[in-house]
Structure 1
């Protein structure tokens, strides 16, 4: 199984209650927030329910490392450093930890103080259309490996 990067694209106005609850359980409360989830049937069902408000795909090691290094925050809004990773896990650097997370040897929750949500900037050059699916030249829904391009523009 792989890890999925899920990014909320649209805002909160006129969202059905059921969709709002699902977004809250995914920890996506605001636009441009990103979470890393395990790919399984429960997650896929939740993503399918809120597909009109989010985009998702498989994250690669390089972008997970960038996310952790530049946007990884601890409680108290402190940055994630190699020292914190080595104190809380068996890995010495952020890049080793990112590789272990993708290989399912470690979990992001191994670092207790790490916030589960990555707060990203809006993408450089913007979203194409926040009302169309990715297949229809928009920004919503499943985008596979191309999520890495979007994350690169948002870090």
Structure 2
């Protein structure tokens, strides 16, 4: 099963209620927020509903590690202050083995606009 990175790229202006609810369920409340999810048929349906407001695709383990090291937070604090690099690498590996991202870090990554 693939792991998908999903980034919200647009705001809420003239958004249909179904799309808005889908983005809320994906925890994408603001533009430039990113979440990491396991690919399931239900998720693919949600991505299809919100396709005009998001960008998504499979993410590799190295890219997820870089994302967690740079933007990962737990309880509002930087993940590097709370965990050592070896623990972070083990957590990323566990995510690819089937664990949930939210067990280790906050599920939403706050990105900067391009």
Aligned length in residues: 114
Cα RMSD (Å): 1.8
Asked which structure has the greater CA Rg, the reply is 1
Q: In the TM superposition, what is the alpha-carbon distance from 1:8 to its structure 2 partner?
A: 0.4
1:102 is aligned to: 96
1:118-142, Cα deviation, whole Å (9 max, x unpaired)? 000112xxxxxxxxxxxxxxxxxxx
TM-score (norm 1): 0.68
1:39 is aligned to: 39
Structure scoring higher RCO (CA < 8 A, sep ≥ 6) equals: 2
Q: In the TM superposition, what is the alpha-carbon distance from 1:59 to its structure 2 partner?
A: 0.4
Relative to total residues, which structure has the larger strand share, 1 or 2? 2
TM-score (norm 2): 0.90
2:78 is aligned to: 79
Cα contact 1:82–1:93 (8 A) shared by 2 = no
User: Take 1:8 and 1:45, find their aligned partners in 2: how far apart are those partners?
Assistant: 16
Q: In the TM superposition, what is the alpha-carbon distance from 1:115 to its structure 2 partner?
A: 1.6
Give the secondary structure class of the aligned counterpart of 2:68. Answer: helix
1:120 is aligned to: 111
Contiguous gaps of at least 5 residues in structure 2: none
1:77-116, Cα deviation, whole Å (9 max, x unpaired)? 2011385379xxxxx4212221221232x321222xx321
- Runs of 4+ residues deviating >4 angstroms: none
